[in-house]
Amino acid sequence: MPKLQAPKITPFLWFDSEAEAAANLYCSIFDDSRITNVARAGEKVMSVTFELGGQRLMALNGGPHYKLTPAFSLLVSVESQAELDRTWEALLAGGGEPTRCGWLVDRYGLSWQVIPTALPRLMSDPDPGRASRAVQAMMGMSKLDIDGLERAANGG
């Protein structure tokens, strides 16, 4: 059976009533981000379509019926500790909560993974000891520390 051409896939986020505020915050944090559409019913915002780093997302003000959970998260891949720190703090601002292993929940309830590009490289190291030590170090961290991950992988 021939494969169908995949349509553009857009993550769809359900908020109680904070869709526009959340989209504005996210767009303020990431380069190449913008609000592309705000759909209203009278004065009430119903949905917001936006792009983060060129990835299209949609946020709905759907009411209190459903809540965001860590079962869905957005992964942000960062190159440096400075970029990781800046992203981490911006997403936590205003009431977010850090969790474990590079994960956090922002003030709107959306889960994020702020992951340095070094982590997948370390976790897939051909030396199983290095990979295991990097994973063990990650498991003990909230916000990830690139130098700490590297030191652990090296046995330090």
Does pTM top 0.75 for this prediction?
yes
Average pLDDT (14-31) is: 97
Distance set, CA 49 to CA 33, 37, 55 (Å)? 11, 5, 11
For residues 78 and 154, membership in a common domain is answered with: yes
Residue 44 belongs to domain spanning:
8-66
CATH of the domain at 122: 3.10.180.10
For residues 145 and 82, membership in a common domain is answered with: yes
Name every residue whose Cβ is closer than 8 Å to that of residue 27 and which is 6 or more positions away in sequence: 33, 34, 35, 50, 51, 52
Write out pLDDT tens, residues 90-137.
999 999 999 999 999 999 999 999 999 999 999 999 999 999 999 999
In a domain, 108, yes or no: yes
Query: What's the CA gap between 117 and 120, in Å, rounded?
Result: 6
% of the chain at pLDDT higher than 70: 98
Structure-token match 């474990």, residue found: 100
Contact 114, 145 (CB under 8 A): no
